[in-house]
């Protein structure tokens, strides 16, 4: 979120001497290198989501994660999309290699590192689409929403490789902002907006409780 008075102009420091921005956008745009089980992961992309969903990875399903499942997810997320849509080879490590991995790395620590990797790359916008003056949640699709975003980015000029390999968070931001620039009536919600809404909810709850107590 820019505090510039003119859209498209650079942001300027606020009176407090700090730039004002949407932290979700910054989280999506500024990523870090992640290493899990000693392996450097590629930016988390729609290609990775497709493969992880295909193998029903427990890391996306909030289920207990085995060393094998973590190794599989790491193997997937260190790959890149290819024109043939060929999945990476999933041959399990040898028994000796497994022994080395399980003694070299702590499973809980590596799982946490993988979840941090997901959070770093998958920070899309919070937005709502205004339709007939009513707010409806973005994301109601009759086709896979991720594939729809990939197709839309290609429609806007990105190559298939760029669309499939782009970090998920930035892909969602590009898609949403492109839609808004084309005339979609999107309402973006920043973390600051969420904070104000939460304060309002709490105040309403307090006022309601006070009124209820006053009637007794």
Q: Residue 141's pLDDT is what? A: 53
Whether 20 shows a pLDDT value over 90: the answer reads no
Q: 181: how many CB neighbours lie within 10 A of its CB?
A: 9
| Contact present, 142 and 135 (Cβ < 8 Å) | no
Kindly report the pTM of this predicted structure: 0.74
Token pair 């029903």 in the structure block, residue: 56
3-state DSSP percent of the chain in helix, strand and coil, to 5 = 50, 10, 40
Integer Cα distance of 30 and 121 in angstroms: 9
- Give the pLDDT confidence of 42-85 residue by residue, as tens digits: 999 999 999 999 999 999 998 999 999 999 999 999 999 999 99
- Asked if the model's pLDDT at residue 104 lies above 50, the reply is yes
Calculate the dihedral angle through the C-alpha atoms of 60, 22, 147, 154, rounding to the nearest 10 degrees.
-150
User: 3-state SS of 83-117?
Assistant: CCCCCCCCCCCCHHHHHHHHHHCCHHHHHHHHHHH
* pLDDT single digits (tens) 109-165: 999 999 999 999 988 888 777 665 444 445 545 678 899 999 999 999 999 999 999
């Amino acid at each position: 979120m820019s505090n510039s008075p003119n859209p498209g102009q650079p942001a300027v420091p606020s009176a407090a001497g700090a730039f004002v921005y949407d932290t979700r956008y910054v989280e999506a745009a500024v990523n870090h290198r992640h290493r899990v089980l000693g392996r450097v992961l590629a930016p988390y992309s729609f290609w990775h989501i497709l493969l992880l969903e295909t193998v029903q990875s427990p890391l996306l399903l909030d289920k207990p994660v085995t060393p094998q499942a973590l190794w599989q997810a790491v193997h997937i997320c260190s790959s890149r999309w290819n024109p043939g849509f060929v999945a990476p080879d999933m041959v399990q490590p040898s028994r000796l290699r497994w022994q080395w991995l399980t003694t070299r790395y702590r499973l809980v620590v590596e799982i946490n590192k993988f979840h941090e990797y997901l959070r770093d790359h998958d920070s899309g916008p919070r937005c709502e689409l205004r339709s007939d003056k009513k707010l409806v949640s973005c994301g109601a699709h009759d086709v896979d929403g991720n594939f729809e975003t990939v197709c839309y980015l290609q429609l806007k000029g990105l190559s298939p490789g760029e669309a499939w390999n782009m970090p998920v968070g930035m892909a969602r931001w590009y898609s949403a902002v492109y839609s808004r620039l084309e005339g979609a009536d999107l309402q973006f919600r920043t973390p600051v907006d969420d904070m104000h809404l939460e304060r309002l909810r709490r105040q309403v709850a307090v006022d309601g409780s006070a009124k209820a107590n006053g009637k007794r």
